[in-house]
Amino acid sequence: MHEMKDTRRALVRIGYDGRVHKTFRGHQARERFENETRVLRYLESKHCDYVPKVLEAHVEELRLVTTSCGQRVERISPPRVQAIFRELREDFLVQHDDAYERNITYRATDGRFCIIDFEFATILDPAAPPGPALDLPKPDSPR
């Protein structure tokens, strides 16, 4: 596996098969794991095709396995970043709550920008059950 991210909040590795393995750790690890799993499953039920799909959720290990959504974006304009996250909010009623360039990838197979890292996202759909209470990080704080 290739290590992609190793922070106090998560360890992210990409397997040789392309699957993404994210292990949650640190403050509110269980809540963040539950929230990301819940939001990704909600988006899949709404047929959102530019976010990862949940393949496995290992509650005991706080490890989520998802599909890959391409490569990290090297450069993207701030207005384009805002437009991508606005599309998610308007079309699928999900507020990302960590809406930064670092959470956008590019999928070359279809030329699509994708969104990753939904641990702090909020489902705005009033029909959806509420998620866990999360302490949101300060903007651009260490992850």
56 Cβ partners below 8 Å, 6+ apart?
A: 63, 64, 65
* pLDDT tens digit sequence for 27-62: 999 999 999 999 999 999 999 999 999 999 999 999
Per-residue pLDDT at 139: 61
Indicate whether 19 pLDDT > 90: yes
More confident call, 53 vs 137: 53
Contacts by residues 41-48 (CB-CB < 8 Å, ≥ 24 positions apart) = 42/94, 42/123, 42/125, 42/128, 43/92, 43/94, 43/118, 46/92, 48/88, 48/91, 48/92
Alpha-carbon gap, residue 38 to 49, rounded angstroms: 16
CATH of domain 2-123: 1.10.510.10
User: What does the domain layout of the chain look like in residue ranges?
Assistant: 2-123
Residue 142: is its pLDDT beyond 80? no
Entry pTM: 0.92
Q: pLDDT tens across 93-104, in order?
A: 999 999 999 999
More confident residue, 138 or 34: 34
pLDDT for 63 equals: 98
**pLDDT category, 140, cuts 50, 70, 90?**
low
Q: Is the pLDDT of residue 69 over 70?
A: yes
Burial class for 89, CB neighbours closer than 10 Å (0-12, 13-18, 19+):
middle
Given a cut of 80, whether residue 112 has pLDDT beyond it is yes
